[in-house]
Structure 1
Amino acid sequence: MAMTADAADFRAQPSKGARDVSTKLDWGHAWRSLQKLLADKEDTRQVFEIMRALNGKSTAHGYIRLLETAEGGRMAFERKEFADRLMDDAWLDSLPEGSVGAAYRTFIRAEQLSADGLAEVSREGVSDVDNPHPYAWFARRTRDVHDIWHILTGYHRDALGEACLVAFSYAQTGGLGWALIAFGAASRARGTRHPTIKAIWQGYKRGKAAKWLLGEDYERLMAEPLEAARKRLGITPPTIYDSIPAHVRDGVVPQAA
């Protein structure tokens, strides 16, 4: 099909002109940011620093992969900013009970979170986050669905839940930034009597087994019944994570976002 040929051409000849979106790896910066994150699990900015240092190539590959899906070309052409939709309270309130969106609505309001707040953290100290470039748009889309992945996977926002979701995200995206944070989390989890490392590893395996979530139409997904969505997407239960007492989960590994 023409879409495949176009995608190959785009991969071989990236657009010229104003483009601050880098696909180069910066392991030194990523490692320094990881140390800061390990020292202060609430320093969410370091997560984005790690992503910018290591995830550029995976973001580019993910965008090309999106173009090759059944509806990815349409979504890429429309290039909607999903954060805007997630900040629309009327739309969130319209989503049916029992749906992915209803669970997300309850989650963010209980945790006092917002898509806009996460976006603001991602913009700290950089100028390329809102770049009008396909790779930058895809990176924003990946950022904006993070809390929806919490809902789909069943991982809470405690430190272990974030670490498991990081491992899941690495399996889904191939982004080395996710892998580095998962490694840091696992290194901190050693020595506990609970199977925290096994829980993180299970997060990775669940991500590998699931359907590629970045290819989903999220406006449609948000209205889908949660359990039906999990079944359709091949997302299995987080059995090892669920076996660890809630009071243990928040102190063993760094929080990712």
Structure 2
Amino acid sequence: MLEGARLPLKGWQQAAVAVGSAVGALLDPRRADLIAALGETTGKPAFERVLERMKRSPEGRAVLLERPRVISSNVGHAWDLPPNTFGAAYAKFMGSRNFSPDDRPPVRFMETEEIAYVATRAREVHDFWHTLFGLPTNLMGESALKVIEFEQMLLPMCALSVVGGSVRFSDKQRKLFYQHYFPWALRAGMRCTDLMCVYYERHFDEDLEDVRRRWGIIPAPPEMVEIKNKTKTFPALRL
């Protein structure tokens, strides 16, 4: 069982939560709780499609069978791996930002354990994707990753997060995002493998560049990554 009480919603309740969360998230994209609720109340069809794809993939089926969780007790060994590995890169990403794998809020609005796990998995692999694509955690980096997530899962919340995030851009940032981040993210999301069907924890000890090539990952261009030290981290969109 996934921890946290799930709240079954009737149709009108689900619509009310979705609308309220969408309005609140657009007004303040820093509200992680609203973004999470929006993703769950509008994402059931998308998560069901992801579930079916995972069932058709050998590695995806292994994920569904074993239901690994990205929590400190399960991924802590990544901090001890050689520096060239995917696991070490993930540990560096998390440690340099004082992020914890345990910070994710529980999924509350999914009707079944199976769909709840898929939604949980999508939430918990977000930082793996940051590591693989080399994206910063500022507003532009998070918005770019939401473009990739939308292409991978077709979650309405991802599209709305991009809209809400871009509203907060300055004119200069908006131009930079749509000239560089957005087209790169479209290309990267289309080229890579089905990322929800990857059992990441089994590849922690493999070379980072090797797994990137195998999964068709196009890392963010260096000029995009250089911006990461100039803007603030935007943790809400880590959902």
Which category of TM-score, normalised to the shorter sequence, fits these structures? Answer: 0.7 to 0.9
Q: Which residue of structure 2 lines up, in the alignment, with residue 195 of structure 1?
A: 176
Give the stretch that moved more between structures: 169-178 or 240-249: 240-249
Equivalent of residue 42 in structure 1, options 23, 30, 35 = 30
Letter aligned with residue 48 of structure 2: A
| Structure 1 residues 23 and 228, CA gap change in structure 2 (3 angstroms) | farther
- Asked if 1:83 corresponds to 2:64, the answer is no
Report the Cα offset of residue 73 of structure 1.
2.4
Letter aligned with residue 49 of structure 2: H
Q: Identity percentage over the alignment?
A: 22
Unaligned stretches of 5+ residues in structure 1 = 1-17
Q: Which residue of structure 1 lines up, in the alignment, with residue 162 of structure 2?
A: 182
Unaligned stretches of 5+ residues in structure 2 = 1-5
Report the Cα offset of residue 182 of structure 1.
1.5
1:29-178, aligned counterparts within 5 Å?
Answer: 29-78=17-66, 80-84=67-71, 86-88=72-74, 90-118=76-104, 121-122=105-106, 126=108, 128=109, 133-178=113-158
1:142 is paired with a residue of what secondary structure? helix
Report the Cα offset of residue 133 of structure 1.
1.3
Q: Which residue of structure 2 lines up, in the alignment, with residue 213 of structure 1?
A: 195
What is the distance in 2 between the residues matched to 1:113 and 1:75?
A: 24
What is the distance in 2 between the residues matched to 1:19 and 1:77?
A: 24
What is the distance in 1 between the residues matched to 2:16 and 2:222?
A: 33
TM-score normalised by structure 2 residue count: 0.81
| Structure 1 residues 165 and 27, CA gap change in structure 2 (3 angstroms) | farther
Q: How many residues align?
A: 231
CA contact under 8 A between 2:106 and 2:120: conserved in structure 1? no
1:82 is paired with a residue of what secondary structure? coil
Higher relative contact order (CA 8 A, sep 6+): 2
TM-score normalised by structure 1 residue count: 0.76
1:83 is paired with a residue of what secondary structure? coil
